[in-house]
Amino acid sequence: MNRIFTASAVALIASLSAANAATEIQWWHAMGGELGAKVEEIAKNFNESQSDYVVVPSYKGNYVETMTAAIAAFRAKEQPAVVQVFEVGTGTMIAAQGAIYPVYQLMADNNEPFDPASYLPAVAGYYTDTDGNMLSMPFNSSTPIMYYNKTVFEKAGLDPNAPPKTWAEMEEASKKIVESGAATCGFTTGWISWIQTENLSAWHNVPIGTLENGFGGLDARLELNGPVQVKHWGNMKKWADEGLYKYAGPLGGDNAPPMFYSQECAMMMNSSGSRAAVVENSKDFELGYAMLPYYDDVEGAPQNSIIGGATLWVLQGRPAEEYAGVAKFFTYLSSPEVQADWHQVTGYLPITTAAYELSQEQGYYEANPGADTAIKQINLNPPTPNSKGLRFGNYVQVRTIIDEEFEALLGGSKDAQGALDAVVERGNKLIEEFQAQNQ
């Protein structure tokens, strides 16, 4: 007991003297496991690069838990200076004027050089207001791509170097795979909401909602019950019934990776950010990468895919010297070396053009074929109002509704049109509620 007391007293004194020497900056994040270790490393390297500031990263659980913790802390006036918020929380954060410190303003107030044009357009666009100002600091961005099992393709008599490009080819390949017995299912997917609904819409250049997918203001509403989405959901149900596709569960689709790793399903659409994990777990077969499939009868497809992942938001109400440190830290974080390293280790997108070019120079893409599929896909065409991203309030819950209605479709209680109409109706109710709360 005494020893514990002495130890904690020493720790307390040590932390007090550290606080005197340098300004502490709290950074709450949602990166567990290996990603978390990488975050710690970035903070450590920054802290060693200068002596005025100490960035203290704390893991606060998954994205939802981290955001909830930060909001609760703000209400209790105990907020961290920097918090990592996932892309669907963007609408909530932007609406919280008075709680957030927009990044472009933070950088200007502290005389830090900051050029929004140096970021990849598909990344920066998602977090920029209608006047072109960047509101949060891009950190980990990813986009869905298709992983496929070349070994199974060969067994099924398919060309392992020609993955399906369109959904028609997807269906045909899946049929061959299942009928030949090379695998028991053609494909599976993570994220019904993000990949098979939101990205599907952007990829075919059709709107997710009004007012440029919600970028234009709080009175935007969902409209993702158009013909492209209805056709695709209808097909997914048909393919599920035929055994070509297997549903992997709500949210991120936890069962998708195990089904792909165990070679039960030959193809999987999932985040490019899970590339490292997929490579690690697919040593029993040859792995291939491809862009998302599209319907070739839709004009304008393929357009470009949209991103997911998270950005760093700065919260108001901390002492001014902390914000000076945050600005310095953001400059460090977006430097090409730090970004290229983060991109190459984790599989997240390089968020700046400079980091992408540095990775090219270092020969990373020659050594890791397929690692640039995601970048090529988001850069395929300049983003349109339909493919910039989306911005709605209460969107975390809207995503849950998308999952529920998709489950209702699979269960047979609704058809594709009915399910998507219900998504729009129920989702818009939440979005209206959000508008009422924030006006």
Partner 1 sequence: MKRALFHNKFLPWLLLAPQLIVTAIFFLWPAAQAIRQSFLREDAFGLRSQFVGLANYRALWGSSEYLNSFKVTLIFTVSVTVLTMVFALLMAVAVDRLVRSEKVYTTLLIWPYAVAPAVAGVLWWFIFNPSIGILPYVLSQIGISFNWIYDKTDAMIFVVIASAWSRISYSFLFFVAGLQSIPGSLREAAAIDGAGPVKRFFTITLPLLSPTTFFLLVVNLVYAMFETFAVIDATTLGGPAQSTNILVYKVYQDGFVGQNLGSSAAQSVVLMVIVIALTVIQFRFIEKRVAY
Q: How far is it, in rounded angstroms, from Cα 410 to Cα 405? A: 9
Task: Tell me the window of 34-42, 222-230, 254-262, 270-278 that interacts with partner 1 (CB under 8 A).
Answer: 254-262
Which of residues 404, 415, 418, 421 is near partner 1 by CB under 8 A? 404
Tokens 């959904």, residue located: 167
Indicate whether 169 belongs to the interface with partner 1 (CB under 8 A).
Answer: no
Indicate whether 249 belongs to the interface with partner 1 (CB under 8 A).
Answer: yes
Strand residue runs (E) in 155-252: 185-189, 245-246
With contacts defined by CB under 8 A, how many residues of the chain interact with partner 1?
Answer: 40
Site string for partner 1, 174-203 (x = CB under 8 A): ------------------------------
- Judged by CB under 8 A, the chain residues 96 through 125 that form the site for partner 1 are 96-99
Q: How far is it, in rounded angstroms, from Cα 265 to Cα 16? A: 55
Q: How far is it, in rounded angstroms, from Cα 141 to Cα 355? A: 13
Contact 101, 316 (CB under 8 A): yes
Which of residues 105, 166, 255, 331 is near partner 1 by CB under 8 A? 255
| Phi, psi of 185, deg, nearest 5 | -145, 145
Indicate whether 423 belongs to the interface with partner 1 (CB under 8 A).
Answer: no
Count other Cβ atoms within 10 Å, centred on residue 74.
Answer: 18
Contact 109, 252 (CB under 8 A): no
CB of 381 to partner 1, least distance (A): 34
Task: Tell me the window of 4-12, 30-38, 320-328, 428-436 that interacts with partner 1 (CB under 8 A).
Answer: 428-436
**Of 99 and 380, which CB lies nearer to partner 1 in the complex structure?**
99
Which of residues 116, 250, 370, 418 is near partner 1 by CB under 8 A? 250
3-state secondary structure 245-294: EECCCCCCCCCHHHHHHCCCEEEEEEEHHHHHHHHHHCCCCCEEEECCCE
Residues recorded for the chain: 439
Contact 343, 355 (CB under 8 A): yes
Indicate whether 277 belongs to the interface with partner 1 (CB under 8 A).
Answer: no
Which of residues 27, 46, 53, 74 is near partner 1 by CB under 8 A? 74
Indicate whether 396 belongs to the interface with partner 1 (CB under 8 A).
Answer: yes
The residue ranges that bind partner 1 (CB under 8 A) are 64, 68, 71, 74-75, 92, 95-99, 247-251, 255, 258-259, 262, 264, 394, 396-397, 400, 403-405, 407-408, 410-411, 413, 426, 430, 433, 436-439
